[in-house]
Amino acid sequence: MIGKKVIETDPITIAEVKKMLEERSQIHELNYEQNLALDHVTKFVKIDDEPAIELVKELKEIIKKIQAIKLADIMPKDMADMRLMFAKERGSHKQEELEKLLEIINKYRKDD
């Protein structure tokens, strides 16, 4: 890995990862780790990439970007799941705030 260094990092949703890997697989053959990653995100993605980006943008108005990405990846279904998502976070979120987040998430939810 001589000559390679990380210039910047930016968290993204697994939906965006899936899109990137699929686009890369069209151009080049994926290596073993990339195939495993594509398999994983294909199994666990719950929303397409464009709606995921919009969802994160909307959630960022209320919470931090990294929290918004976690919510977009997991797509919690009820308040119990929402509380679990923020259980280890410093500071607590108000009930109204959690309800608003859940309402926004439900707008983007696919029919399961």
4 is a domain residue: no
Give the pLDDT confidence score for residue 26 in this predicted structure.
95
Model confidence, pTM:
0.84
Percentage of the chain exceeding pLDDT 70: 96
The verdict on 38 and 61 lying in the same domain is: no
pLDDT digits (tens, 9 = 90+) for 48-78: 999 999 999 999 999 999 999 999 999 999 9
Distances (CA, A) of 73 to 4, 5, 49, 58, 68: 29, 27, 11, 14, 9
The verdict on 103 and 59 lying in the same domain is: yes
| Residue 32 binned pLDDT confidence (cut-offs 50, 70, 90) | very high
Supply the range of the domain harboring residue 39: 14-44
Residue 16 · residue 25 · CB < 8 Å: no
94 is a domain residue: yes
String of DSSP letters for 1-30: -TT----------HHHHHHHHHHHHHHS--
The verdict on 57 and 39 lying in the same domain is: no
> Does the CA dihedral 20-22-28-33 come out positive or negative?
positive
